[in-house]
A and B are shown apart, each in its own frame.
Chain A
């Protein structure tokens, strides 16, 4: 593959057309085009509006509990015997994951746009819960589309959404996972254009979603940067995050993209291995294509039909990835590596036992790679891992994998 020339900065994208190099764009039906242009307009006004920033800042502090902590994982560090490992504790946020950062930002946008109904898609249910939460907080009806397979494997989150007053609509098409939920959410949006705001959960979809979701999530990296300088007196040597659609990862990465000394690693779901189709490593085993409003790396066959993929983690079970990640891959700024289901499962258990923290299976992928990386580094080096969510939602899945009934 021809590698594009390294830009002066990795932090200026997307361009006016919503492109990161050849990735991104606005590949949507005409019905949605005026809505997307309207959203872009409101977003451009909101992002520089001190009033919007202040409102979001206050909610982030008092409702979501920001800033999230940067925690030195001493037990895991000692166990691995290499670099010092820090966890960025997004699991401690209200609703238990990084998803609330984006949802608070977007619900404020929806209100500015005068929208009265919220729709969202969800995989693991973390984004669905966060969407249902902000919808409840602001008194707006909310419909969450969720693949039928995911409804089954993430039952606790389904119940949480319903408690919060959201309507959860199971989607049976395809494998009943995140891709199918997103298709159905787009069909709802194209039908209910007047009153409905589509609250996309990851840094993907048509422009301006990849940009605005990244900006709402970039608080993770902005805080982590300050916190590590405060605690270690310098920048980290490596930062690691799991990538499904890639919102927690781009949120951590964005502040560090122009710091050449910081190695940046995104971890994809390797499922049962990259040889077959039972994985979700779009950037390691896919190729560029167009789906869900953007051009990006996709798992697909030679006819351009999208594959379903597989991951133990419902949040990573998506055949695509946000377009900025595709661009960061091709420019070589960020490395993307796969982690297998069983490696993630082991990291899940080790972290629970050594740190007393049950990580989400998504985050366990990032920890699993860190467990490979840390022993190869010096003891005075530093790694930050994005602990993007807590794992309570995954205990049923893990018990099943371990052959236990609970």
Chain B
């Protein structure tokens, strides 16, 4: 079974360039603005959208994404509304893959079977659930794969060669390599190390390997994209939203425009990655 994710990475492989994977927090700062932001992403050069599901206790996230989640929750966002966001986006775009990313509890409370049915109906292609390691695959991963939804796993610098096969079993769509131990939005490690890690993972899998955690500029995106099949940017985008919000949440500029400007720059970086690497 191929998903939009599989088709997108196959096409990019033909084009000979890595993917730009962009993360936004669903419902940040409110549903309508968030939908507007999401709609600008493909045009600005995003190849895959990670749609954050806000959670009250995001244990693996840094301050920027924590704050974005809280803004969304304060604005009345729920898991049901995040699914609605995807559904609304799908009305104009049936190609760009959407991966929902977050923590397990809201899905568990929603009900796994019901969630998967509603996610498929809303046009969701994949899931990244931070607190479900392979040891807990029976919870959501296996049901998701059976339902035809990709389950994308995080591999980290602590995932050694012995553990890597465990992590890659039941992973589909792509592998998300977290380029450092730490929370989202931390400083970027050196690109040579990242390239080594990507090569190590690729020795174990045919799946595309995308790299994230810490990528903020077009220059960094270009450097990471030289070895990776995709570059994930999250915190920088979430910050672009936060930067146009005043102290009481009022918008001092158009958040969708701010995000589009940033993403266009990143897209140029990613598109230049293999050229730079070839030189």
A-side residues, CB < 8 A to B, are 17, 25-35, 173-174, 179, 183, 186-187, 190-194, 289-293, 295, 298, 300, 302-306
Contact = CB atoms under 8 A, between A and B. Distances in A.
Select the residue from A25, A30, A173, A179 with max chain B CB neighbours within 10 A: A30
Contact of A29 (B56, B60, B79, B134): B60
B178 A30 contact: yes
B156 A30 contact: yes
Contacts of A305: 55-56, 73, 106
B136 A191 contact: no
B105 A291 contact: yes
Given A289-B105, A305-B55, A191 B131 contact: no
Nearest to A186: B59
Interface stretch (B38-46, B158-166, B244-252): B158-166
A371 B60 CA distance: 43
Contact of A289 (B109, B130, B132, B133): B109
Interface in B168-182: 178, 181-182
Select the residue from B60, B79, B130, B155 with max chain A CB neighbours within 10 A: B60
Nearest to B80: A303
B135 A306 contact: no
A290 B105 contact: yes
Contact of B136 (A25, A183, A291, A303): A25
Contact of B158 (A31, A290, A302): A31
A23 B181 CA distance: 28
Contact of A27 (B132, B153, B181): B132
A34 B160 contact: yes
Given A289-B109, A304-B108, A306-B105, A27 B131 contact: yes
Interface residues of B, number: 42
Given A292-B59, A303-B78, A304-B79, 11 more contacts: A17-B135, A27-B133, A29-B131, A30-B167, A34-B158, A187-B183, A191-B186, A192-B181, A289-B108, A305-B73, A305-B106
A290 B110 CA distance: 12
B40 to A, nearest CB: 27
A376 B41 CA distance: 68
Contacts of A179: 57
Contacts of A28: 131, 133
Contacts of B262: none
Contacts of A191: 181-183, 186
B50 to A, nearest CB: 16
Q: Is the interface of A mostly helix, strand, loop or mixed?
A: mixed
A275 B108 CA distance: 25
Nearest to B60: A29
Nearest to B133: A33
A174 B74 CA distance: 12
B154 interface: yes
A34 B181 CA distance: 12
Contacts of A289: 105, 108-109
A35 B158 contact: yes
B178 A31 contact: yes
Contacts of A31: 60, 154, 156-158, 178, 181-182
A20 to B, nearest CB: 15
A303 B106 CA distance: 6
B13 to A, nearest CB: 26
Given A173-B66, A190-B181, A193-B158, A26 B110 contact: no
B145 interface: no
Contacts of B133: 26-30, 33
B195 interface: no
A30 B156 CA distance: 7
Interface in B198-215: none
B89 interface: no
A384 to B, nearest CB: 35
A194 B57 CA distance: 24
B107 interface: yes
5 contacts: A26-B135, A30-B156, A183-B57, A187-B62, A305-B56
